[in-house]
Structure 1
Amino acid sequence: MSSNEAAIEKEIQAKGLSAPRLTPGQIDSVIASEWYVNAGEGIAADEFQPPVPASHPLRQLTFCVLVLKNGFTVTGESACASPENFNAEIGRKIARDNARNKIWLLEGYLLRQRLHEQG
């Protein structure tokens, strides 16, 4: 849970808002596993494409794949504008946050659909 999510969660609870909603914990609970790929390292050289050079921009592109408990996958990515600023750990964190944000949308849709069906 990000510090922003924690602050929002605290505010929701302080205001006594208790209608059905999603929580950061619920979002985290649907994640079964997470995987990271550096685009430059993840591309295999073959007869159709050469190896990715060390200084290529693909080396600053990180993907996160979150596999949900139902088998669905969501992805997030992170890239930096200046190669000198690339940091693999920070890239993974940003890519994961971007992937996790997609879960909010999907789970929000599911909750809204359930509420709609209940009338």
Structure 2
Amino acid sequence: MEHYIGTKLIEAEPCPAWKDAGAHRAGEDGYKVRYPDGYESWSPKDVFEGAYLPLTVNHKLKPDRPSISQEMVDDFIASVETVTMGDKTTVVRATLRNGFEIVEASACVSAENYDEELGRQICLEHVKDKVWMLLGFLLQTAVHGVSERSGRSDVHCQTSGLSFGLAIEAMKAGKKVARSGWNGKNQHIELASAISYKSPEGTVVNVEHDAIGNQAVAFCGTSGVQMGWLASQADMLAEDWKIVE
């Protein structure tokens, strides 16, 4: 048989084994597991806790939708090692709960201004940003699966409560999307078609070079003019995107 990596969002609660089964005996510590289709099973405690990550609610977002919280990010970092390289560079190696390692470095211009603790803090922020992304990817896969086709079909049948990934797919399909909390008239983001800027001489210039050009996401405010836009961590992890056109 082939090997597969599986990720699925499930419900579970501590529960003793219901009956003798194989090497497991009734009353053994474990978890009652309920899958999305309603099927229920039992898993031994060590097997379950080695396979599933507890999901804590990010209270800054919708509490009724799956999300990544700062607590999850912090808890997923198992250990941190800090060393000084030379006389002005800090290197941090963070080991995650699954054994994966992230290495970040920070350096200052002058050795006289070097502070290892400050460098450590800067590196840890970068590490946590990467953990946010990795856990967000994991949760996205658990909620929507690994099939691109299943994700794309959601874009056509669902118009609100979208993840950022589905919002991007909607934009690729020519739609305009917005966060539910954006209350300015006609505020939305869309694929760029005419990101422009005004030169010091007052001339409006359309940016069309390879680095930015129109291969980007643009924000449209109340004036309807496209402007460059970058998603925040909250935007990328939010589940309240909606199609507005």
Q: Do these two structures clear the TM 0.5 threshold for a shared fold by scoring above it?
A: yes
Q: Secondary structure at the match of 1:21?
A: coil
Structure ranking higher in helix proportion: 1
Cα separation, 2, equivalents of 1:107 and 1:21 = 9
Q: Secondary structure at the match of 1:37?
A: strand
Contact 1:77 1:96 in 2 (8 A): no
Q: Render the CA deviation track for 1:17-69: whole Å, top value 9, x for unaligned.
A: 121110000001111111012122xxxxxxxxxxxxxxxxxx21111111011
AA at the equivalent of 1:75? V
1:97 maps to what in 2? 125
Using the size of structure 1 for normalisation, the TM-score is: 0.66
Cα separation, 1, equivalents of 2:105 and 2:132 = 16
Cα separation, 2, equivalents of 1:39 and 1:68 = 23
* Structure 1 unaligned spans of 5+: 1-8, 41-58
Q: Secondary structure at the match of 1:67?
A: strand
Q: Does 1:32 align with 2:78?
A: yes
Q: Does 1:78 align with 2:124?
A: no
Q: Secondary structure at the match of 2:72?
A: helix
2:181 maps to what in 1? none
Q: Does 1:114 align with 2:142?
A: yes
Higher Rg: 2
Q: Secondary structure at the match of 1:20?
A: coil
How far apart are 1:84 and its partner, in Å? Answer: 2.4
Structure ranking higher in strand proportion: 2
2:95 maps to what in 1? 67
Q: Secondary structure at the match of 1:98?
A: helix
Cα separation, 2, equivalents of 1:93 and 1:80 = 13
* Structure 2 unaligned spans of 5+: 1-57, 151-245
AA at the equivalent of 2:76? V
- After superposition, the CA RMSD in angstroms is 1.9
Cα separation, 2, equivalents of 1:92 and 1:39 = 12
Cα separation, 2, equivalents of 1:99 and 1:76 = 7
Cα separation, 2, equivalents of 1:76 and 1:112 = 25
Q: Secondary structure at the match of 2:99?
A: coil
The number of equivalent residue pairs is 89
Q: Secondary structure at the match of 2:145?
A: helix
How far apart are 1:83 and its partner, in Å? Answer: 2.5
Contact 1:77 1:98 in 2 (8 A): no
Identify the structure with bigger relative contact order (alpha carbons < 8 Å, sequence gap 6+): 1
Percent identity (aligned) = 33
